Amino acid sequence: MINTRRNETTHRRFVSYIDKSREYYRALGYRTAYRWARFDEVPFTALRKPLCEAAVTLITTAMLPSNENQGVAAPRTVCSIPAHDPPAQLSTHGLYWDRQATHTDDLDSYFPVHRLQEFAGEARIGRVAARLHCVPTEYSRRSTTDRDAPEVLRRCVEDGTDAAILVPL
Amino acid sequence: MVLGSARDIVEECGVPRLVFTDFPLGNPSGKPYDAAMQKRIVAMGLDLLESARAPRTTVQTPFVWSEDQAWRDNFMRVDFPNRPDAEA
């Protein structure tokens, strides 16, 4: 049990989703626990220019909505959104988020494109990069590391992007 | 830089910079329709882009989802009799 009263200190306050998912899928009969990604070496790059001159993008695990009327599933490939014309909604269907506690009806609660545009207007950042990016959630780690991440990087370099804000749901 | 609410998953993976908001999964950049909160969370991320000096730097935003903390237990809850230890 995780403590539900804020002053109790018998457990860490924040939820362990690694523990929760392991227990949940064990209860459903899965014998092998999912191995979450883990890297001993973590890269780090300092900003190469002042933020007020930098182009900043957003990267999300939400996807462009599929054409539900025609039963067409959203493609499970990297897709990009023109920053000057973001959609009203992205699809969060099939992702691992808490449908009982909240909703994703407000784009900026998980893809803060309008907030980022405001910071560009205030010159806190140089500009919003030309394209923002959606990356599919894959159980195959290799699909992400070998296929999707290089493709996102290629598009960021092509756009002259200096920094990325990743917002996984 | 990552804006996230699944702190353990992100830190297990390891990222250069994390802005952690202790919310139910789904709104890592702030409560729906609360533009002021969303802006403060993004602002903390922009600050961290400038201030972090090493990988695995985590900062936590000051926001509380609600006085009722039940969401922490309710998500992916394994209810009796589905608990694994009920199999015996």
Q: What is the DSSP string of A112-135?
A: -HHHHHHHHHTTSSSEE-SEEEE-
The predicted complex's ipTM stands at 0.89
In sequence order, which residues have a C-beta less than 8 Å from that of residue A50 and are 6 or more positions away?
none
pLDDT score for B87: 46
Report the percent of chain A where pLDDT is more than 70.
Answer: 88
The number of C-alpha atoms within 13 Å of B52 and in the hemisphere containing its C-beta is 24
CB-nearest to A98 from B1, B26, B50 is B26
Q: Give the residue ranges of DSSP H helices in A14-132.
A: 17-27, 113-121
Would you place residue A126 in the very low, low, confident or very high pLDDT band (cuts 50, 70, 90)? very high
Report the percent of chain A where pLDDT is more than 90.
Answer: 69
Segments forming the whole domain that contains residue B21:
2-86
CA distance A71 to chain B (A): 25
CB B77 within 8 A of CB A17: no
pLDDT score for A100: 92
Number of separate domains in chain B: 1
Question: If contacts are CB pairs under 8 Å, which of residues 6-65 in chain B contact chain A?
Answer: 6-10, 12-16, 20, 22-35, 38-39, 41-43, 45-46, 49-50, 52-56, 65
Cα–Cα distance, B29 to B22 (Å, whole number): 11
| Segment A90-117 mean pLDDT | 95
Tokens of A111: 């893809």
Over residues A78-100, the pLDDT tens digits come to 999 999 999 999 999 889 899 99
Over residues B1-13, the pLDDT tens digits come to 999 999 999 999 9
pLDDT of A11 above 60 = no
CB A24 within 8 A of CB B76: yes
